[in-house]
Amino acid sequence: MVDAYRTAKLDAGVMDFSDQMSWGAQLAQLPEVGAALRERFEVVLLDEYQDTSVAQRDLLRALFAGRGISAVGDPAQGIYGWRGAASGNLAAFLDDFPAADGSRGDLHSLAVSRRCAPEIIDLAGVIAADYYADPAVAKVVTPLQAAPEN
C-alpha cells in the first residue's frame, strides 16, 4: 500500500507534507542552497513556531542559524502535535538560534490583550493556571493580562 501511494504521488507529480520536509532537509544540506537563501532573506520571521517539528527546526537552523531570525509563538496554541510538532521547540529557540557571535538573543512577551474584557482574561487565567505553573511554560510564557483601558 505504501509503495502504491508513493508511486501514485510520483506519477501525479505531487508531494505530501512529509515529502516536503524530507526534500527540504536534503536541499538544506547543500551549502549553495543555504547561501542563496541567506543572501535573499537577511531577516527571517518564524510565525506560529510552537507548531514546528524537530525536522522543521533542523531545516531552519541549517538554513538560517546566526542570521537575523525571530520566532513568534504561543505553546498554549499548539495544534499540530499529530503532525510531529514539538512543543519544546519554542522554549529552546534562543538556544537553537544563537546570534552570529554566539550570544543568546532576547525573549519578549506579548502579555497584554487589548481585545478582551478583563473578566475574560481573568477566567482564562483561572482555567490555564496549571499550565502556567509548569516550569517549562513559565520559561517562555507570561500569563495574559487585560490592557488597563479595557
Q: What is the pLDDT of residues 45-78, one digit of tens each?
A: 999 999 999 989 999 999 998 888 999 988 778 8
Do 95 and 120 lie in one domain? The reply is no
Would you state the pLDDT for residue 95? 92
Is there a single domain that holds both residue 28 and residue 9?
yes
Mean pLDDT of 89-110: 88
Shared domain check, 118 and 76: no
pLDDT category at 150 given cuts 50, 70, 90 is low
- Same-domain pairing of 21 and 61: yes
Residue 13 — left, alpha, or beta (φ > 0 → left; ψ -120 to 50 → alpha)?
Answer: left
Q: What percent of the chain has pLDDT over 70?
A: 99
Higher pLDDT, 150 or 139: 139
Domain range for 133 is 109-150
Average pLDDT for residues 14-25, to the nearest whole number?
91
Measured CA to CA in angstroms, residue 94 lies from 21, 61, 75, 111 at distances of 23, 12, 15, 19
Q: Are strands 145-146 and 43-46 parallel, antiparallel or unpaired?
A: unpaired
In the block, cell 504521488 appears at 9
Per-residue pLDDT at 137 exceeds 80: no
CATH at residue 30: 3.40.50.300
Q: Report pLDDT digits (tens) over 25-46.
A: 899 999 999 999 999 999 999 9
pTM of the predicted protein model: 0.76
